Structure 1
């Protein structure tokens, strides 16, 4: 077991604050961690925007665009969630995935957020196999429906 004295003040991956013995206002640190976990567990965003909306709904999350301004300046590529009347941020890290509700697609963080590109249905060729094309079209449709493309 790791000794408590060896912990830093936050977790290394998602910067969740740790509690320490004798710490004042522990509920603040626990609530901050829970708010960030709410953003990170099965993350989905309303969309990607550069400035915070004027009247966000509680629980709404956004991917902060590269052109971020206002209070989001310098937070490009992070996730912002409106929780209990204030913005809570989650830092993006390698391998992280999230669902963009506005485009119904999955994004993966690989040095920046990457979107899957759609695959075109087969066309042309010397030999046309209608059954194979139908099967491929059905696979593409299913993968698109599930946010892969």
Structure 2
């Protein structure tokens, strides 16, 4: 870690004997305001808006221009002092107002609306776990009940379609 900035969000640190400490402190607060519980107006925008409102933020696209040049994939926020940028870190999550979903930074890119985990639990009860082996469609038998068979095939099709069982 540098003696000038924090190791995670690169927030400026106050220095012993520093004049005008309020400038450094206020810059750190502006960056924290942008990064903590972050929400953005849009994800993947390359050009800064012409008339941004203080407090508004965007996730910069892969080919930024203008005031965002050199800030690919960062969170850009407009403040009374101009643009502030927070560099995306692995696992960072931001609410995208335009999409109504979370955007997550992973592997050098932002992904919108994808949830990742090993199980879904509701009220302490696992309702979806790891995918199991495929269930074969019913075949054969001595007594054929075509309606029951059609219903089972429809159920299996829905479960496969939702990714809850293998194909």
* Alpha-carbon RMSD: 2.4
Uncovered stretches (5+) of structure 2, i.e. residues with no partner = 116-150, 163-167
Equivalent runs, 1:1-149 vs 2, <5 Å: 8-48=3-43, 49-111=45-107, 112-117=109-114, 126-128=153-155
TM-score between both structures, scaled by the size of structure 1: 0.74
CA distance 1:82–1:117, shift in 2 (3 Å): same
- C-alpha distance in 1, partners of 2:57/2:152? 45
TM-score between both structures, scaled by the size of structure 2: 0.66
Superposed CA offset, 1:3-25 (max 9, x none): xxx86100011100000111011
> How many residues are aligned here?
122
- C-alpha distance in 2, partners of 1:97/1:11? 20
- C-alpha distance in 1, partners of 2:27/2:152? 57
Secondary structure of 1:87's partner? strand
- C-alpha distance in 2, partners of 1:103/1:116? 8
Uncovered stretches (5+) of structure 1, i.e. residues with no partner = 1-5, 119-123, 137-149
1:58 to partner: Cα distance:
1.0
Superposed CA offset, 1:30-87 (max 9, x none): 0000000001110000002111111011100011011211121121100011111411
CA distance 1:125–1:71, shift in 2 (3 Å): farther
Q: 1:58, 1:85 within 8 Å by CA — same for their partners in 2? A: no
- C-alpha distance in 2, partners of 1:67/1:58? 23
Structure having the higher Rg: 2
Which structure is higher in helix share?
Answer: 1
